[in-house]
């Protein structure tokens, strides 16, 4: 068996709807730049950083800062993976929103005192996020809790192997073209797009 230095690379997953499918809540201009620009950039950035790691392993890197390389890898890999959840967590306008069903609804009801209370606290978490990042709902496979998480930039506090069920992107690139500095208006509109079936499927894999 030969020894090789080779990392498998990421690919940009398909957008599960057309760029204008989320209008009027999120404009086609935003989705185009966000998906084809930003998300693709994170995929490329992760792959480029893996190329760099391969060069380091082969002794072909002239000079490098290992912590810088790993920070790039973390930023771009998380950027790719978090966006991959974000797109599929939304459904075309008219097909998303409403309330969750299935086991997700059961857990929200038994833990958060019902969907309305959950929506209030998840909204509070979203709207109080300082600067750039994400707000997520994840399932703790140890405690069996559905739990809120805040993610600064792409450097998540994502405890190993805990699956994210629902996530919202709060980077300015996710709303600025349409909502300018009114992030709260974007966050209010986002609820109309939530694909609860997708969130419930993500959760169900771990129950
Ligand atoms: Mn983004």
- Structural domain includes residue 5: no
On whether both 120 and 185 belong to a single domain, the answer is yes
Q: Identify whether the C-beta of residue 91 lies closer than 8 Å to the C-beta of residue 201.
A: no
Its domain, for residue 70, covers: 28-88
- Structural domain includes residue 116: yes
Ligand 1 centroid to residue 110 C-alpha, Å? 32
**Of the candidates 43, 66, 88, which is a domain's last residue?**
88
Q: Identify whether the C-beta of residue 43 lies closer than 8 Å to the C-beta of residue 12.
A: yes
Ligand 1 centroid to residue 18 C-alpha, Å? 17
Residue 161: per-residue pLDDT: 66
If residue 204 lies in a helix (H) or strand (E), which one and from where to where? helix 196-204
Ligand 1 centroid to residue 165 C-alpha, Å? 17
Rounded distance between C-alpha atoms, residue 85 and residue 90, angstroms? 9
Which range is least confidently modeled, 18-22, 61-65, 85-89, 144-148? Answer: 61-65
pLDDT, tens digit (0-9, with 9 covering 90-100), for 56-83: 999 999 889 999 999 999 999 999 999 9
- What contacts 65, CB < 8 A, 6 or more positions away? none
Reported as half-sphere exposure (CB side, CA atoms, 13 A), residue 207 has a value of: 15
Q: How confident is the model at residue 162 (pLDDT cuts 50, 70, 90)?
A: confident
On whether both 80 and 122 belong to a single domain, the answer is no
Residue 28: per-residue pLDDT: 98
On whether both 131 and 159 belong to a single domain, the answer is yes
- We report the CATH number of the domain holding residue 58 as 1.10.287.990
Total number of domains constituting the chain: 2
Q: Identify whether the C-beta of residue 5 lies closer than 8 Å to the C-beta of residue 58.
A: yes
- Structural domain includes residue 58: yes
Instruction: Please tell me the pTM assigned to this model.
Output: 0.94
pLDDT, tens digit (0-9, with 9 covering 90-100), for 91-126: 999 999 999 999 999 999 999 999 999 999 999 999
Distances (CA, A) of 107 to 7, 81, 204: 38, 25, 11
DSSP string of 146-187, one letter each residue: EEEEEEETTB----TTPPEEEEEE-SGGGTHHHHTT-HHHHH
- Structural domain includes residue 22: no
Using the predicted structure, report yes or no on whether residue 171 has a pLDDT greater than 90: yes
Ligand 1 centroid to residue 51 C-alpha, Å? 23
Structure tokens at 74: 């973390």
Ligand 1 centroid to residue 12 C-alpha, Å? 14
Using the predicted structure, report yes or no on whether residue 1 has a pLDDT greater than 80: no
Ligand 1 centroid to residue 166 C-alpha, Å? 14
Ligand 1 centroid to residue 79 C-alpha, Å? 7
Q: How confident is the model at residue 154 (pLDDT cuts 50, 70, 90)?
A: confident
Q: What is the dihedral of CA 175, 104, 144, 204, to 10 degrees?
A: -100
Exposed/middle/buried for residue 105 (C-beta within 10 Å: 0-12, 13-18, 19+): middle
């Amino acid at each position: 068996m030969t020894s090789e230095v080779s990392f498998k690379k990421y690919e940009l997953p398909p957008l599960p709807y057309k760029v204008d499918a989320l209008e009027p809540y999120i404009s086609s201009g935003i989705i185009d730049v966000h998906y084809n620009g930003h998300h693709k950039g994170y995929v490329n950035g992760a792959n480029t950083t893996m190329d760099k790691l391969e060069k380091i392993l082969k002794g072909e890197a002239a000079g490098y800062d290992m912590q810088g390389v790993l920070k790039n890898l973390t930023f771009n890999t998380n950027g790719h993976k978090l966006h991959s959840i974000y797109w599929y967590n939304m459904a075309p306008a008219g097909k998303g929103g409403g309330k969750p069903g299935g086991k997700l609804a059961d857990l929200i009801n038994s833990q958060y005192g019902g969907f309305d209370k959950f929506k209030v606290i998840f909204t509070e978490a979203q709207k109080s996020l300082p600067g750039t990042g994400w707000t997520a709902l994840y399932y703790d496979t140890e405690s069996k809790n559905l739990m809120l998480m805040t993610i600064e930039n792409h450097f998540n506090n994502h405890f190993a192997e805990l699956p994210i069920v629902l996530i919202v992107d709060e980077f300015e690139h996710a709303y600025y073209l349409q909502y300018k500095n009114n992030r709260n208006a974007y966050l209010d509109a986002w609820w109309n797009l939530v694909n609860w079936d997708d969130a419930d499927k993500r959760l169900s894999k771990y129950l």
